[in-house]
């Protein structure tokens, strides 16, 4: 890295004289100063070893990543660090063999057998937390692995779908699958049964592992009901599920109203009785064997099963957990994300457990029963590393701005992930949650990337609120314009952030859709499809970003048709196809609106078939369709039934124009539309109704306006 943010820290970050300076694009941004890392943190930081940084210079690529792979225990050492022969399907640590479960469990038994691997905190405060030692984790993982193998007949390479809430049985099931080389696909528990069913079908799973119920905001939710919907959806897509394994929130007590289907549905606690004390040898897997699939949204309706490798992925999350999460074995680490997202896979389960630390899992919502809950948990368990999203921070700040001060918790390190964080929210996190004692890392990355791409190195780089920071070790980003020209550092212009090089955590392919993989992530800037040289294959992240003069990256948001709601990626096509299942609906368009808590919320525009009149009933049907097909997280803030959609002459819906209408921002040039007159009609309808509902948004920041301008690529 040539940047030296420390040298800049004392001075001025921007190039104030330049006409096109960053200052002109976002005035409020220029006012952000640096925060030095707390000296107490720096003294103990894993990254304080200068050799680590120099080792990752580009001249040492790809061998630099040995430093991460050497944190693992390999059954067989690899012979080729990076194989580019089938570009851009990179293979890392070729020839190597290892087992992910062994690395996260067995290898800690020697030194840390009696230490808590997981501490599970149930949502009801009257239920005490459960600590699961490495020894107990070993036992429970082995027993469940025996069940997966002998009762379900699963073996290496098979897929198994999990639709689990935030309970320790989820990491247990993941590790049990990994022990046998079975590829797990955990679907976020908040997703609907239908969404789970599509993913079962796409992955070709015959077994679904779920739970009867779990707590959310004080209610015991019926979760098994979703399993019945899931298998029905999967069956419609031609995928038969033979077995549903149902964990019970309270073993022996069934918390769902849905009947168990004889011969198909089994209570795990009952079946497990036959496997008490069973041990299963970890299966040595090739480094490039898939460890898991993680589905995410893209520009078409079909979700993308991002396939992550065993050796490369585990190396990358272990290395980044060590240097960026600063995990030491005696830390108590709490990431409040859901394991159903990539953050939970990488930074609740695989990274922290591979390092042998204690990872906290919380079942419920952060503000239940009140906004002091996270700080009580942190105080009680002595959490010293805390990890969450801007949405959670905004929410806790809104409902309990003074709560953190009431508790005696002390974080050395705090992470934010998933969305851009506003500088004033960052400062509340730093000053009030962290009490000015903690280092903060704002980590930019994606489901596809396995681990962090841009973030400050804690204890080394100064922090700049709202900015992710320099690239992570061994990552060489570049910002390219639409013509593939580099947008230089400090130019003040935004462009598409790409990563020039492969890294071990990058996903291997989209399950079953290799062409879509190449097309979506690599084709845009590749000039020679036959090239075997990685330099010819920049990874296209799908985010807009700015590269400041000090080398820090500021992420603006998605440049594709994805809406980031509270850190969850929702594809406009998925939302729209759900709305189109409503009989009366002729056309549908989903757009983002700026939301003070969730970052963005979804608004749906629909037009109706000829002869159908608008009604509240149709609006309700659209909401239900979206909740059924995707889940409650996707519920639109408003549904607008409009007379017509603004369209181009070739008939494409101009989402950018309706997004501007919803956000009360400038619609830009509409003279080229086929039906420009409809824009004013919609504006009056929507903005009039929003004013009446008290939903007039605050003025957009310039970065938000910038993001919305590029929304909806048509």
176 or 294: whose CB is closer to ligand WTA? 294
Cα within 13 Å of Cα(346), Cβ side: 33
Place of tokens 């694009």: 25
Q: Does 478 bind ligand WTA (CB under 6 A)?
A: no
**Minimum gap (Å) between residue 126 Cβ and ligand WTA:** 33
To which residue do tokens 């087992």 refer? Answer: 99
Using rule CB under 6 A, residue 465 touches ligand WTA: no
Q: Cα(477)–Cα(544) distance, rounded to whole angstroms?
A: 12
Tell me the torsion sign for CA atoms 521, 525, 527, 533. Answer: negative
User: Is residue 507 within the footprint of ligand WTA (CB under 6 A)?
Assistant: no
Residue nearest to ligand WTA (CB): 447
Counting residues that bind ligand WTA (by CB under 6 A) gives: 22
Interacting positions 332-371 with ligand WTA (CB under 6 A)? 341-343
Nearer to ligand WTA, 228 or 326 (CB): 326
Q: Which helix (H) or strand (E) holds 22?
A: helix 22-25
User: Is position 558 an interface residue for ligand WTA (rule: CB under 6 A)?
Assistant: yes
**Residue 567 CB, nearest distance to ligand WTA (Å)?**
6
Strands (E) across 473-533 are located at 477-480, 495-499, 509-510
Of the candidate spans 244-252, 326-334, 375-383, 412-420, the one that interacts with ligand WTA by CB under 6 A turns out to be 412-420
Asked if residue 443 binds ligand WTA (CB under 6 A), the reply is yes
Element (H, E) at 235: helix 224-236
Q: How many other CB atoms sit within 10 Å of the CB of residue 264?
A: 14
The answer to the question of residue 418 lying near ligand WTA (CB under 6 A) is: yes
Strands 495-499 and 477-480: antiparallel
Q: How far apart are CA 161 and CA 494, in angstroms?
A: 39
Angle between helices 616-629 and 193-203 (to 10 degrees): 40
3-state secondary structure 291-322: EEEEEECCCCCCCEEEEEECHHHHHHHHHHHH
Q: How far is the CB of 465 from ligand WTA (least distance, A)?
A: 12
The number of angstroms, rounded, from the C-alpha of 24 to the middle of its chain's C-alpha atoms is 31
Nearest distance, CB of residue 430 and ligand WTA, angstroms: 15
Chosen residue from 350, 445, 511, 664 binding ligand WTA by CB under 6 A: 445
> 682 with 658: CB under 8 angstroms?
yes
For ligand WTA, the closer CB: 44 or 713: 713
Binding characters for ligand WTA, 536-555, by CB under 6 A (x = yes): ------xx-----------x
Q: Does 213 bind ligand WTA (CB under 6 A)?
A: no
Minimum separation from the CB atom of position 359 to ligand WTA (A): 17
569 binds ligand WTA (CB under 6 A): yes
Q: Is 296 in the site for ligand WTA (CB under 6 A)?
A: yes
- Asked if 447 is part of the footprint of ligand WTA (rule: CB under 6 A), the reply reads yes
- Applying CB under 6 A, the span of 95-103, 259-267, 351-359, 411-419 interacting with ligand WTA comes to 411-419
- Least Cα distance to 655 among 580, 555, 583, 562 occurs for 562
Q: 425 near 395, Cβ under 8 Å?
A: no
Q: What is the separation, in whole angstroms, between the first and last Cα of the chain?
A: 37
Shortest reach from residue 77's CB to ligand WTA, in Å: 31
Q: At which residue do the structure tokens 């075997």 appear?
A: 532
Closer residue to ligand WTA (CB): 102 or 444: 444
The answer to whether residue 458 forms part of the interface with ligand WTA (CB under 6 A) is no
User: For residues 445 and 664, which CB has a smaller minimum distance to ligand WTA in the complex?
Assistant: 445
Interface with ligand WTA (CB under 6 A):
296, 341-343, 417-420, 442-447, 468, 542-543, 555, 557-558, 564, 569
């Amino acid at each position: 890295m040539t940047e030296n943010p420390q040298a800049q820290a004392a001075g001025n970050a921007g190039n104030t004289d330049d006409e096109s300076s960053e200052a002109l694009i976002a005035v409020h941004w220029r006012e952000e100063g640096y925060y030095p890392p707390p000296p107490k943190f720096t003294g103990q930081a894993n990254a304080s070893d200068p050799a680590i940084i120099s080792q990752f210079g580009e001249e040492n690529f790809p061998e630099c990543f040995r430093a991460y792979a050497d944190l693992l225990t390999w059954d067989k050492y690899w012979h080729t660090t990076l194989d580019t022969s089938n570009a851009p399907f990179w293979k890392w640590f070729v020839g190597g063999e290892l087992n992910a479960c062994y690395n996260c469990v067995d290898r800690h038994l020697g030194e840390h057998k009696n230490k808590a691997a997981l501490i599970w905190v149930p949502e009801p405060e009257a239920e005490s937390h459960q600590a699961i030692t490495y020894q107990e984790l070993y036992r429970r993982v082995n027993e469940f692995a025996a069940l997966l193998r002998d009762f379900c007949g699963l073996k290496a390479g098979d897929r198994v779908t999990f639709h689990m809430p935030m309970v320790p049985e989820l990491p247990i099931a993941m590790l049990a699958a990994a022990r046998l080389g079975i590829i797990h696909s955990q679907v976020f528990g908040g997703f609907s049964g239908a969404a789970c069913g599509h993913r079962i079908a796409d992955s070709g799973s015959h077994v679904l592992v779920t739970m009867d119920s779990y707590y959310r905001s004080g209610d015991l939710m019926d979760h098994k009901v979703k399993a019945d919907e899931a298998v029905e959806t999967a069956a419609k897509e031609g995928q038969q599920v033979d077995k549903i394994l149902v964990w019970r929130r309270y073993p022996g007590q069934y918390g769902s109203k849905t009947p168990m289907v004889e011969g198909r549905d089994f209570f795990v606690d009952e079946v497990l009785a036959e496997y008490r004390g069973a041990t299963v040898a970890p299966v040595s897997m090739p480094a490039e064997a898939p460890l898991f699939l993680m589905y995410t949204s893209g520009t078409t309706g079909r979700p993308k099963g991002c396939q992550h490798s065993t050796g490369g992925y585990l190396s990358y999350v272990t290395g980044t957990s060590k240097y960026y999460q600063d995990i030491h074995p005696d830390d108590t680490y709490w990431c409040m994300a859901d394991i159903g997202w990539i953050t939970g896979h990488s930074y609740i389960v695989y990274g922290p457990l591979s390092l042998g630390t204690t990872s906290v899992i919380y079942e419920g919502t952060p503000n239940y029963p009140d906004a002091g809950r996270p700080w009580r948990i942190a105080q009680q368990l002595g959490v010293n590393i805390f990890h969450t999203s801007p949405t959670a921070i905004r929410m806790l700040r809104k409902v309990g701005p003074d709560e953190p001060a009431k508790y005696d918790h002390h974080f050395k390190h705090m992470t934010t992930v998933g969305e851009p964080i506003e500088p004033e929210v960052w400062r509340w996190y730093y000053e009030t949650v962290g009490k000015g004692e903690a280092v903060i890392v704002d980590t930019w990355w994606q489901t596809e990337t396995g681990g962090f791409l841009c973030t400050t190195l804690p204890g080394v780089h100064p922090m700049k609120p709202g900015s992710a920071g320099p690239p992570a070790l061994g990552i060489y980003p570049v910002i390219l314009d639409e013509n593939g020209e580099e947008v230089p550092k400090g130019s003040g212009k935004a462009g598409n952030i790409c990563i020039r090089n492969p890294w071990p955590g990058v996903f291997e392919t989209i399950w079953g859709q290799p062409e879509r993989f190449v097309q979506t992530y690599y084709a845009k800037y590749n000039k020679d499809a036959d090239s075997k040289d990685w330099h010819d294959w920049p990874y296209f992240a799908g985010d807009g970003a700015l590269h400041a003069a000090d080398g820090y990256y500021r992420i603006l948001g998605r440049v594709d048709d994805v809406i980031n709601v509270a850190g969850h990626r929702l594809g406009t096509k998925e939302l729209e196809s759900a709305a189109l299942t409503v009989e009366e609906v002729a056309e549908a368009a989903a757009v983002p609106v700026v939301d003070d808590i969730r970052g963005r919320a979804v608004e749906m525009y629909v037009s109706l078939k000829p002869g159908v009149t608008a009604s509240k009933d149709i609006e309700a049907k659209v909401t239900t369709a979206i909740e059924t097909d995707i889940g409650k997280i996707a519920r639109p803030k408003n549904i607008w039934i409009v007379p017509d959609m603004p369209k181009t002459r070739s008939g494409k819906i101009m989402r950018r124009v309706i997004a501007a209408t919803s956000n009360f921002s400038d619609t830009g040039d509409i003279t080229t539309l086929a039906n420009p007159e409809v824009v004013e009609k919609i504006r009056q309808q929507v903005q009039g109704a929003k004013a009446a509902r008290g939903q007039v948004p605050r003025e957009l920041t310039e970065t938000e306006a910038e993001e919305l301008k590029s929304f909806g690529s048509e």
